[in-house]
Chain A
Amino acid sequence: MRESGIFGILAASGAFSILVTAAIIGVLFGESYHFFSMPEVTLSDFFLDTHWSPLSEDKRFGIWALVSGTMVVTVVAMAVALPLGLVTAIYLSEYAPRRVRDILKPTLEVLAGIPTVVYGYFALRFITPKLQLLDSSIPIYNALSAGIAVGILCLPIVTSLTEDALRAVPRSLREGAYGLGGTRFDVSLKIVVPAALSGIISAFLLAIARAIGETMIVALAAGLRPQVVLDPRNEVQTMTGYMVQVIGGDVSNFGVEYYSLYAVAATLFVITFSLTVVGEVIRRRFREVYS
């Protein structure tokens, strides 16, 4: 009797997590529906317009301005995190002697545990001035330094997930390749990496999702100007940066500004959720089974 009672409690806990997902979807899309049913907003504007200015006099609601800002920062971040993370992971998994490992692993753990505000501070106060030394035309708020900081943030994630994927490749494959006369480089890049490819791609996708969802770094360093530009040296605003801007202002009137928050959050959620799900599916479905 007691057993089933206990099971009921535990099952309720399991159900709670489903409730949370349902709540996220319900709240985001429900309030976004409210947003889209406001007179100033049309669906075609949202998806086709390239200007975003709900907080100013001339209200325009094109989401591309914010999405473009997010993408520029993310591309810079991935340009930093993916190559460096992959190489570091290969080194850790295939080359590293014990002593170097004992320095590297804790370092990466510390980097992963540093709160994002700290990276935002670092971007604003250290990276931006150094960039301005190289190119004096770079404004204080720019996507480049924010992107670099986001990249540093994502580096431990890429490294650890990629290293897991590389380590999952069985020793027998490696030893077969060594037996055929391969160097470590041959074995790593021609055998192990292709074998672990699904895990590596999954790691990359999760890192991209993390970069897209990053808030504090871009709020501090990227800027407040939503614009569709390709050059990361410009000031941009990301989806998350806009959300910070709205909540910092006066939202008690529950007007179109308040509801725009939900529409942007819904867009953000759809993008990151798709990336996470696709990453998970790739990891499970294309995982090479060796035993």
Chain B
Amino acid sequence: MSNTIIHDPERRRAAARSTSGRRLLNKLFAGFSLAIALLSVLVLMVLLAAIVKSGAKHLDLSFLSSDPNTEPEKAGIRIALIGTVLVCGMCALFTLPLGVATAIFLDEYRPRNPFMRKLHSFVQLNISNLAGVPSVVYGILGLTAFVYMFGLFGKLDDPAFEIGVSHYYQFVNDEGLAVLVPIEGQQAERPELVDGMTAYLPSGKSVKLNLVPASGPWPDDKPTLRRTLSPKSKGGYLGKKSWYYLRLPLGRSVLAGALTLSLVVLPIQIIAAQEALRGVPSSLREGAYGLGATQWQAIRKVTLPSAVPGIMTGSIIAMSRAIGEAAPVMMISGAVLMSHAPGNLMADFTVMPLQIYEWTSRPNAEFHDVAATGIMVLLLVLLSFNAVAVVIRQKLRTPLS
């Protein structure tokens, strides 16, 4: 426009003004929007700096191997780390097959008749909506459906089904030694003590119970003392669980948490897998059909292997989200203070983001620094996870057509 010759001087001046005005506005906006855009970079750097400044002092190997503690100096993230690994590992086991199967269903099997097509787009819309549901709501759903299981399988302390557990009533005799007597179940009453009945030592060794009268006398030798009780001995329920312990209702367990988390990340996985499948050029599929393959054969041998890098990337994104989610896990496990790592899939657990939340919400400011250290560990885990994804994506990238 500035090259056009305008002969009327009035219009010429007006045109020159408006052009230079607009050009100035353009330059200003370019600078302004660059500044705004760089603001994000600034925010990220400030965020990371604040975390490193508070958290670096506690970061060492003992932080990774210690358990949470009442003293900030000694606190560690080991239990939460194990919890995260267990829960997210199981979550991946559930999410990946289900997500890929749904994506294949949505993208490869496009229906022809109008009713199925409507159903198809309904499922698609449904998944987009599920992606927008807040994760706490999934936590609430998991609470009802997986922890309490709608009340269909009995209560938490009176499960309808259990394997891999032995129930005992643990008595403590006057010398402070424990003797275990087997009982029916968690709700059974204190068993009758009979002299000579089968009992167990805490080590698991089976012994014959030696019953002495309430007034004594207690035996002197240690081996007999270890299996001696009087009718007045007190105790409580003890359940010994093996590593394969399973119970219904699932209760506040690792399994319930994993199932809930898989609901949270499933929409992400499905959408990502769909993108991956769409990225496979149809020439590959059509080549397979041309060679006489059925639809499933074409998918299994041609489309799916080509889509694997994209699906893996989607998996990594979904798992990164799962690792960082605290809200649904909080609904499942309650905000508990864990003192030991989960020993089986039904055990109580915590995950790293939840532990960080727990530390941050304490009034003691020292624990805030510990929380920052926990954040550093969490971010490092996420970073390495994503770095692995980028590397795999590069390695598997072969031109598809």
Interface residues of A in 226-280 (CB under 8 A from B): 240, 243-244, 247-248, 252, 261-262, 265, 268-269, 272-273, 275-277, 280
Decide: A107 and B102 in contact? CB cutoff 8 A: no
Interface assignment of A39: CB less than 8 Å from any CB of chain B: no
Contacts of B330 in A (CB 8 A): 244, 247-248
Q: Which A residues touch B165, using CB under 8 A?
A: none
Residues of B near A125 (CB, < 8 A) are 50, 54, 360, 368, 372
CA A23 to CA B126, docked complex, whole Å = 13
B43 touches A124 (CB 8 A): no
Least CB distance from A202 to B in Å reads 11
Min CB gap A175→B, angstroms: 15
Among candidates A3, A108, A117, residue contacting B356 with C-beta atoms closer than 8 Å: A117
Interface stretch (choices B28-36, B61-69, B224-232, B341-349): B28-36
The answer to whether A265 touches B137, judged by C-beta atoms less than 8 angstroms apart, is: yes
Q: How many residues of B contact A (CB 8 A)?
A: 83
Binds A, one of B104-112, B213-221, B303-311: B104-112
Choice from B33, B105, B356 contacting A95 with Cβ under 8 Å: B33
**B380 lies within 8 A of chain A by Cβ:** no
Q: Write the nearest CB–CB distance from B221 to chain A, whole angstroms.
A: 45
Give B344-370 as 1s and 0s: 1 = Cβ < 8 Å from A's Cβ atoms: 000000000110110011000000100
CB pair A87 B36 closer than 8 Å: yes
Q: Does A82 contact B (CB under 8 A)?
A: no
Residues of B within 8 A of A206 (CB): 132
In the complex, what residues of A have CB within 8 A of residue B270's CB? 17
Q: Is A48 an interface residue (CB 8 A)?
A: no
B125 within 8 A of A: yes
Q: Which of A11, A28, A277 has the most B CB atoms < 10 Å from its CB?
A: A11
Segment from B6-14, B71-79, B283-291, B320-328 that makes contact with A: B320-328
> In the assembled complex, which residues on chain A have CB atoms less than 8 Å from the CB atom of B34?
91, 95, 100
Q: Does B129 contact A (CB under 8 A)?
A: yes
Closest B residue to A262 by CB, please name it. Answer: B140
Pair B135/A215 contact, Cβ less than 8 Å: yes
Tell whether, in the assembled complex, residue A185 and residue B25 are in contact, meaning their CB atoms are under 8 Å apart: yes
- B366 CB, min distance to chain A CBs, angstroms: 12
Shortest Cβ distance from B29 into A: residue: A185
B109 adjacent to A18 (CB under 8 Å)? no
Question: Given A104-B40, A183-B23, A248-B334, are A113 and B320 also a contact pair (CB < 8 Å)?
Answer: yes
Residues of chain A contacted by B295 (CB below 8 angstroms): 3
Residues of chain A within 8 A of B238, CB atoms compared: none
Please tell me if B378 contacts chain A, counting CB pairs below 8 Å: yes
Tell whether, in the assembled complex, residue B326 and residue A115 are in contact, meaning their CB atoms are under 8 Å apart.
yes
Assign chain A's interface to a size class: 35 or more
Q: Is the beta-carbon distance between B40 and A122 smaller than 8 angstroms?
A: no
Roughly how many angstroms separate A87 CA and B379 CA in the complex, as a whole number? 28
Complex contact B266–A17 (CB within 8 A)? yes
| Cβ contact of A215, chosen from B40, B266, B327, cutoff 8 A | B327
Instruction: Tell me whether B98 and A248 are in contact (CB under 8 A).
Output: no
Residues of A within 8 A of B400 (CB): none
Query: A155 at the A/B interface (Cβ < 8 Å)?
Result: yes
Interface residues of A in 1-60 (CB under 8 A from B): 2-3, 6-7, 9-11, 13-14, 16-18, 20-21, 23-24, 27-28, 31
Are A117 and B123 neighbours in the complex by a CB distance under 8 Å?
no
Nearest B residue to A181 via CB reads B1
Q: A201 in the interface, Cβ–Cβ < 8 Å?
A: no
A185 with B26: CB separation less than 8 A: yes
The answer on a CB contact under 8 Å between B335 and A247 is yes
Q: How far is the CA of A63 from the CA of B128 in the complex (A)?
A: 28
Q: Which residues of A contact B199 (CB under 8 A)?
A: none
The answer, yes or no, to whether B375 is at the interface (CB within 8 Å) is yes
A126 beta carbon closer than 8 Å to chain B: yes
13 contacts between A and B (CB under 8 A): A27-B145, A88-B39, A104-B40, A113-B320, A116-B324, A117-B324, A118-B47, A213-B136, A213-B137, A215-B136, A248-B334, A269-B134, A275-B132
Q: What are the 10 A-B residue pairs with the smallest beta carbon separation, nearest first?
A: A213-B134, A115-B324, A181-B1, A276-B132, A183-B26, A91-B33, A10-B105, A13-B101, A215-B327, A185-B26
Q: A residues engaging B (CB < 8 A)?
A: 2-3, 6-7, 9-11, 13-14, 16-18, 20-21, 23-24, 27-28, 31, 84, 87-88, 90-92, 95-96, 100, 103-104, 107-108, 110-111, 113-118, 120-122, 124-126, 152, 155-156, 159, 180-186, 206, 209-210, 212-216, 219-220, 240, 243-244, 247-248, 252, 261-262, 265, 268-269, 272-273, 275-277, 280
